[in-house]
Amino acid sequence: MEVFREAVVDEMLSSPRSRRATALIVTAVAPLLAVFLGSAWAVVGWLAGTSPFWPDPNMTLSEAAGLGNAGEVVRLITLERKDPNRPWPVREGILGAAHDATPLEAAVTGRRQDLIPVLLRYGVVVPDHGAARTLLICRAVDARAPDIVEMLVNLGDRSDPRGGCPPQAN
């Protein structure tokens, strides 16, 4: 049976009709063969010690915070010793237009409430009072993040500066 089958296949592969049949068969699975190339590339890259399909965009601390990537935030602070209290560039698209922001500001703008305790654990300082605190809370108001507003209002001098936020923020 197998001998017969292979004789048929061998014969078919060499005739024009068999080439058409083969073309149909390849057409039927073409999308899967394309994906296979990706798998093969991943395996080769893995063996070669590179990182195929695992983007390494050199995120800044503030970009990681804005995207809610707590793992990268902690890695950048603890392993790469990045200062969590200074502004870092944020690329366009992550939090709107490209700009500089502190990790805390980025977390607030990105409405990443879960991340704020992580930032506090790793040395981020929330302004106790004054214009910096007002600005941060207004940023949370602007981001329409009431839970973060609540959290920030309960930190520092516990005053509620929302009345002083710019009109567009309300």
Partner 1 sequence: MVKAAGWRWSWTANAYAVIVALGIGYFVSRNPLQFYDCLGNMLHVQSKDLWGVLVEDFTAKDFLRPLLLAQIDVTFDLANGRYLEMYKSIEVLQLVATALLFVNLLRVRSMTEAFAVPFGIAMLFGSHTISGAIHEAFPINTYLTIVVCCLLAAHLSFGNPARWRDVAAVALFIFAALTVESGLLVWVIFAAAWIVGCRGVSTRALVATTGALVGYFALRFAVLDVGVPPLALRGSAFGFRVLEPPELVARFGQHPSIFYAYNVVSQFLTVLVAEPKGGVWVFTRGVMTGELLPRDVIGVVSSTGATLLIVWYSLSRIGDWRRRVFDHGDRLVLVFVAVLCANAVIGYGYTKDVIVSPAGVFHGLAASIAFAHVLGRFERAASTGVAALAMASVLAVLSAGWATRLIALHYNLHQKAVIVRNDWMLNGPQPSGFGLEINPTGAALARQLYDQAVSMRAAGTYFYPAAGQAWKYFEKPW
For partner 1, the binding residues (CB under 8 A) are 2-3, 5-6, 8-10, 12-13, 17-18, 20-22, 24-36, 38-40, 42-43, 45-46, 52-57, 59, 67-75, 78-79, 94, 114, 117-118, 121
- Phi, psi for 159 (deg, rounded to 5): -80, 155
Beta strands in 95-167 (DSSP E): 99-101
Closest separation between CB of residue 75 and partner 1, Å? 5
As measured in angstroms, the least distance from the Cβ of 123 to partner 1 is 14
Q: How far apart are CA 107 and CA 139, in angstroms?
A: 10
Element (H, E) at 165: none
Which two three-digit tokens encode residue 102?
């502190």
Of 8 and 125, CB closest to partner 1: 8
- Nearest distance, CB of residue 116 and partner 1, angstroms: 11
In order, the DSSP letters of 49-85 are T--TTS------HHHHHHTT-HHHHHHHHHTS---TT
Find the largest Cα–Cα distance for the chain: 88
Residue 2 CA: distances (Å) to CA of 5, 8, 9: 5, 10, 10
Could you tell me the smallest distance in angstroms from the CB atom of residue 106 to partner 1? Answer: 14
State in angstroms the smallest separation of the CB of 95 from partner 1.
12
